[in-house]
Amino acid sequence: MLGFAGQSSYQTHVIFDKELGELRAGDFIEANPLPNPKITFHQSGHYKLTTNIGLTEDAVDRCTIVGVPLNQIITPVLLMEILIPNKLKLTERNLTEKDIVLEAKEFPQKPWRCSIFAMPKEKFSEIVESKIKFVSTSVIESPHALESGNHCLSFTLRVSNEDKSFPDKFYFFVPGEIKWGA
């Protein structure tokens, strides 16, 4: 589960549906989100967001993205991409053993993003030891992983050579197929 500290408002800007194409606000219904924003990556490959969304008023449901079941992942699979704004709020919490730290002291003053991958633990070690970049468009990367069983979630803070300006807020991209409510 990926949780977010602090209160904020959020909305869905665009959905890319394989059958319906590109959907923007007005093409779908977005109801009040659940409190405490989070994204849960279930073993089944169903990734749950706290936004409530539907194609019609009577079909609004918690947003579910269908991806690869986690135990079937044998090569790195992108679960999420986060575009990070230029100004970040300092945390008021102390670090715990459950937190990870992504080093950015050597990063240039360019837009940052964080790419989150699921992969076998040995694949993460192989990539880090070989100094291959997790993403080919990266100028610089700082990876870290959280392990669970034979797999891990890799959080890779990075600068992409494709980003030209800082976003005004956090943007989250979750690839996969949306499962619309009935």
Please state the pTM of the whole predicted model.
0.87
CB atoms inside a 10 Å sphere around CB 30: 16
User: Domain extents for the chain?
Assistant: 2-69, 70-160
The pLDDT of 148-170, averaged and rounded, is 92
Which pLDDT value is given to residue 167? 92
More confident residue, 63 or 9: 63
pLDDT in tens, 162-177: 999 999 888 899 999 9
Residue identified by tokens 């964080």 is: 114
Q: Whose CA is closest to 70, among 126, 150, 156?
A: 150
Q: For residue range 107-121, what is the model confidence (pLDDT) as tens digits?
A: 999 999 999 999 999
At 49-89, the pLDDT tens digits run 888 899 999 999 999 999 999 889 999 999 999 999 988 87
Average pLDDT over residues 40-52: 90
Q: How confident is the model at residue 8 (pLDDT cuts 50, 70, 90)?
A: low
Q: 126: which residues sit within 8 A by CB, 6+ positions away? A: none
Q: Which amino acid is at 166?
A: F
Band the pLDDT of 96: cuts 50, 70, 90: confident
